[in-house]
Chains A and B, each alone.
Chain A
Amino acid sequence: MTPSAEEGEEPPLEPAPSVALAGDFPSRPTPAEERRSLGALGLDPVWDPSEDLWRVDVPPEGWVAAAVGASDALQHPLSTLFGEAPREAPGTIRVHALFLGIRPSGGVHLRCALDPPRPTLPTLSTTLPYVAPFERELTEMFGVDVSGLADRRPLLLHEHHPNPPLRPGPASAPDGRRVEYSFRPVEGEGIYEVPVGPVHAGVIEPGHFRFQVVGEKILNLEARLGYTHKGTERLFEGKPSDLGSIWAESVSGDMSLAGAAAYAYAVERALDVAAPPGDEVVRGLLLETERIAFLLGDVAGIALDVGYAAGAARANRLREAAYQTLRAATGSRLGRGTIGVGGLRRPIRGNLDPDLATTYARWREAIGRLRDEWLGKSSVVDRLEGTGEISRWVAELMHFVGPVARASGLRIDLRHDRPYGAYVGTEVRVPRGLTGDVRARLVVKVEEIVESCRLAEEFLRRLPADRSPVESPRPPTPGERRSGLGWVESPRGEFLVHVTIGPDARLERVHVRDPSFLNWPAIEFAVRGAILPDFPLCNKSLNLSYSGYDR
């Protein structure tokens, strides 16, 4: 990776306030226009209603042209890329690349069948740099040779595996020999390396950071992950499709509800069932409550890292109240075991405090007051402004998602862009920062908490008065092979689950794309040129999921 062009360059001075709410959503092609554009590229797409995407099968030699066409001609970024060993064609590998569009657009789903014994595919990373980690994973998990890929180091596996772990056959155990791994060298007079991790100083997840530093200035940071790799995607295989949410919840455990919901939507779309409308409203309420609790943790963490203990304590008090609200509704502080396929696992509505709307209103006011007090403290604001800047250009080039992208000026949010469940027909205000620094990320997150409280109040109003539980539809046994895509705007951003379900309703392949899989490079951009003591602050403001990346 070369030093980025924005280094040393100041972003435009930003007049207060740093959050804009008025819309400037670019106009997007309609599905019919998408079809014409794909046709002009020589592709013959088929509409797939279980994914809301145009599906196209391409040969390996047409792979790059089709992918670049989808991302350039249609302006859809590559959302995920993954392999599959299709049961109906034993021995072959199928590679999927999904480009999600923003409404009214659909998007594109490219599929490419590769033949054994040496499956080979040309790389997309020369035109789409953020695709490299996907291709590294494809190489180590399926043994696909991605030609032209510059970075051929393993991504998640730290030991040799005699067989690529996601190829069919008995689960392949690591053989105990550690893989070679070298960090990108940065050389010059006075440059030294600081290795950090995998065990970090706080109560956080494990990963290794390698800093190259001169004096206090960070020249380069490289993160090596995989320490929390649990082989989760393989564990889904063979499980009944209504049981998979157990593992989807444990991809990023601090976003259990978002994971379970994305999984549920994927299976529901594949099997063509829909949750009762009342259950969808409750899902929305739970998801927004999870977002409030999660983002309050980021707010508290940023406060703590700048030595603003009073702000951290106040945010953590609110956060505790949010987790207790989840527990009062579901019995689990993280809302586990609640969102199932076809609706809710257990009735929730009877557990809701009739006065709950006033609670959310109170939080909304409290976080607003906290923000005002906070941004009035020059000693706090001074640590936040200009720290860990990520330019809009980098955010767009690297396809960052969630609050990280929004703080850099991108207006993307699946609740608005591809509404699902209770968000269909709901106005979601998407806050956006301009400067892409820690302050912008803090302010965006605070505005999102305020908006989530507002949405929760709206969902409470929309709950059917009849609180008796509604029977959720039982997912049918399809009798044929089905696939589906679920998407949820999790607290960290776009969370995707793609499922393939066999005729016996058992899972054949589940791919989970946590938002942090796209966002991890953000930390490397954010700290470049910063001083080492600002690293924790940058890290906290991005709050990347290690387990979501590693799975």
Chain B
Amino acid sequence: MQRRAFLAALAAFGLPSPVGAKAAQGLLIHDQPKTLPALDIRDGDGAPAGLESLRGQAVLLNLWASWCGPCVAELPALDRLKPKAEAKGVAVVALSLDRSGKIAVVNTYARLGITALAIRTDEARAAAEKLNASALPVSLLLDRQGREVARYIGAADWEGPKAAILLEALAAGRPLTPDMAPPQVKMTTAP
């Protein structure tokens, strides 16, 4: 109650309108596919592992970091999704934006028991900026030409029926529609 009164008082002081850290969440489908900027993605050995090798295949490119709770909470679902999605023609890539590189990924994967997802790091530490990711997690949906056709901001229910429809459409090169949006998953306990 005291806190509310305090905030009301702050508002009464005529402080600037709240900027807030709120941002759009959920599935954002682009009007036109966007060409992806070049990214310096490395594997667990530090060798280049860019998306070029996946050209011709649709891709779910998930951006995460070990300091992002909902990102870490989403990883096990992506790990389970990977073989199923790949059977449908959609590659699943989890790209860590951690500045410590591989160490954070190895530790997080070990802690969560991740087995299917490969280690992928943002060597140049530029992916967030290049991909305009001002919040995590975010999953970019890339068509078979490697262009971003949509992105999902926040953690999604990747194992549900909506996601299956979405990924099938992505693999087939069919237009994505808002009704294919999987529900968001809220983090309930710290992963």
To the question of whether A and B form a pair in one complex, the answer is no
